[in-house]
Amino acid sequence: MNKVASTWSGALTPPADLPARADVVIIGGGIVGVCTAWFLARQGVEVVLCEKGHIAGEQSGRNWGWVRVQGRDTREIAMMQESLRIWDSLRDETGEDVGFVRRGCLFTARTAKELASFEKWTATAADYGIDSTLLSASDLDTHMSGCAVPLAGALFTESDGRAEPQKAGPAIARAAARAGATVLTACAVRGVETSGGEVSAVVTEHGVIRAGTVLCAAGAWSSLFCRSLGIKVPQLKVRGTVARTAACDSVLEGNVFDELLGIRRREDGGYTVAHGSILQHGITPSTLRWSFKFIAALLQERKSLSISLGKEFVDELRLPRRWALDDVSPFERMRVLDPEPSQRVLRGIRRNIDTMFPQLADVPIVEAWAGMVETSPDVVPMIGPVEELRGFYLATGFSGHGFGLGPGAGKAIAGMLTGRDTGIDLHPLRLSRFFDGSRIRPQSTI
């Protein structure tokens, strides 16, 4: 089994030219950064996006590809509903196919009690006009064939969808560039320059770009980057191992989440599959630093979190907290965060495929990879201006849900940076909620 080898492998060519200035500089070329750049460029804003490695080389190219509103925290719902509308129009707007289709999202229930627990969500869904329903065990036959585990039913949202992560980020980045954005890869941002308490420039490994507005959309690196500026961003990482099967006969067409598997049909006729109840967290100094704020999230995820103490602790301990801006930074030292997939989890995925869908037992797993999911303490993103540094904004902590949310987030963030009302309330997602005494209460899982 090899790793996926497209978006995040291959040679990186440093930018030939660095713009001297921009209205907005975006740090990070994941789905959030590229979508924001796309919306800004279409508003006529001069925007430069700096990505240290490949576009969508980290979380945004490694995720499951689920685009769902089902089960979301209410603070994300309006943004996600807007996102789904944008996903629908992406093919026409970008001229590229990113594999988005609406084939539904289904969370299984093993018991009647578990099925009844989904009623809380169906009530919320009704308030927001979302088409979520409860399916009985017999209804399930129309959505899955040959499922060999006994199920009591499922929560189902027909209007949810999926897209191909390896295509989406790069396609949107190309659309942003066509709309006038400058998209730079192999261009790490080492830090920012300030003047009178305001951001005045970013310092990249290739030189300085003057800008009065800077957005940090650096995914798993945001906390480290912000810490070097004296800004506290509570963030922890969990490793998710993912596999892809060869093309095979269909057992389901949408996305299904069960305690055994998270599985979705792929455009190439195979399945993207992950273990339904294992996420791995290697303890780091950040775990200790932020443990108090993450207590609620850790308790909530306790059944699926496998916690260990290993190499990650020392690796993070060795990372500098600050660095000279004329010297190589941690962002260039690790162009792409490319964790090893766990062999234990892969064995579990194989076993669970065979248990749940015995007709797939002969279908080989042809690729495997892992990604570091970065989470906030209440498992929803941190988006907004950073009070300590005028002109500096944050959009990070998408907590395992950011791929689907990316286009809606990009629109909302572009609106925030240009003072346009998008109708999406970002106040509940402000960073300061973790420091102003607000109760930290996750509503959804990673």
Please tell me whether residue 393 binds ligand FAD under the rule CB under 6 A. Answer: no
CB distance 360 to 352 below 8 Å: no
| Separation CA 107–CA 299 (nearest Å) | 21
* Burial per residue of 33-71, b for 16 or more beta-carbon CB atoms within 10 angstroms, e otherwise: bbbbbbbbbbeebbbbbbbbbbbbbbbbbbbbbbbbbbb
Contact status: 345 vs ligand FAD (CB under 6 A): no
Pick the stretch among 58-66, 99-107, 123-131, 417-425 that binds ligand FAD (CB under 6 A).
58-66
- Can you tell me the distance from the alpha carbon of 90 to that of 93, in angstroms, rounded to the nearest whole number? 5
Minimum CB–partner distance for residue 437 and ligand FAD (Å): 27
Among 57, 170, 339, 442, binds ligand FAD (CB under 6 A): 57
What's the closest the beta carbon of residue 42 comes to ligand FAD, in angstroms?
Answer: 19
Query: 376, exposed or middle or buried, with CB in 10 Å at 0-12, 13-18, 19+?
Result: buried
Minimum gap (Å) between residue 26 Cβ and ligand FAD: 9
Closest listed residue to residue 383, CA positions, set 401, 366, 362: 401
Q: What's the closest the beta carbon of residue 215 comes to ligand FAD, in angstroms? A: 11
Phi, psi of 243 (to 5 degrees): -135, 160
Residues that bind ligand FAD (rule: CB under 6 A) add up to a total of 41
Amino acid identity of residue 411, one-letter, is K
Among 174, 237, 401, 411, binds ligand FAD (CB under 6 A): 401
Among 355, 356, 113, which residue's Cα sits nearest to residue 256?
Answer: 356
Q: Which one among 22, 45, 50, 125 touches ligand FAD, defined by CB under 6 A?
A: 50
Q: Which of 7, 60, 70, 287 binds ligand FAD (CB under 6 A)?
A: 60
59 binds ligand FAD (CB under 6 A): yes
Q: Return the residues of window 280-299 that contact ligand FAD according to CB under 6 A.
A: none
Distance between CA 260 and CA 352 in Å, rounded? Answer: 6
Residue at 296: amino acid letter: A
Shortest distance, position 76 Cβ to ligand FAD, whole Å? 10
Residue among 175, 191, 71 nearest 442 (CA): 71
Please give the Cα distance from 232 to 60 (Å, whole number).
Answer: 24
Helix, strand, coil fractions of the chain, as percent rounded to 5: 35, 25, 40
Q: Which stretch binds ligand FAD (CB under 6 A): 52-60, 288-296, 386-394, 415-423?
A: 52-60
Q: Of residues 22, 48, 63, 100, which one binds ligand FAD by CB under 6 A?
A: 63
Q: Which is nearer to ligand FAD, 144 or 337 (CB)?
A: 337
Give least dist CB 396 to ligand FAD, A. 6
Among 171, 172, 242, 278, binds ligand FAD (CB under 6 A): 242
Binding of ligand FAD at residue 373 (CB under 6 A)? yes
d(CA 202, CA 27): 9
- Name which of 99 and 152 has its Cβ closer to ligand FAD: 99
* Binding of ligand FAD by 160 (CB under 6 A): no
Q: What's phi and psi for 190, nearest 5 deg?
A: -90, -30
Binding mask 22-41 for ligand FAD (x = CB under 6 A): -----xxxxxxx--------
Binding to ligand FAD in span 213-232, by CB under 6 A: 217-221, 225
Q: Closer to ligand FAD at the Cβ: 62 or 430?
A: 62
Taking CB under 6 A as the criterion, the residue among 153, 339, 404, 410 binding ligand FAD is: 404
Compute the distance between CA of residue 446 and CA of residue 297 in angstroms, rounded to an integer.
9
Question: Rule CB under 6 A: which residues touch ligand FAD?
Answer: 27-33, 50-53, 57-60, 62-66, 188-189, 217-221, 225, 240, 242, 331, 371, 373, 396, 398, 400-405
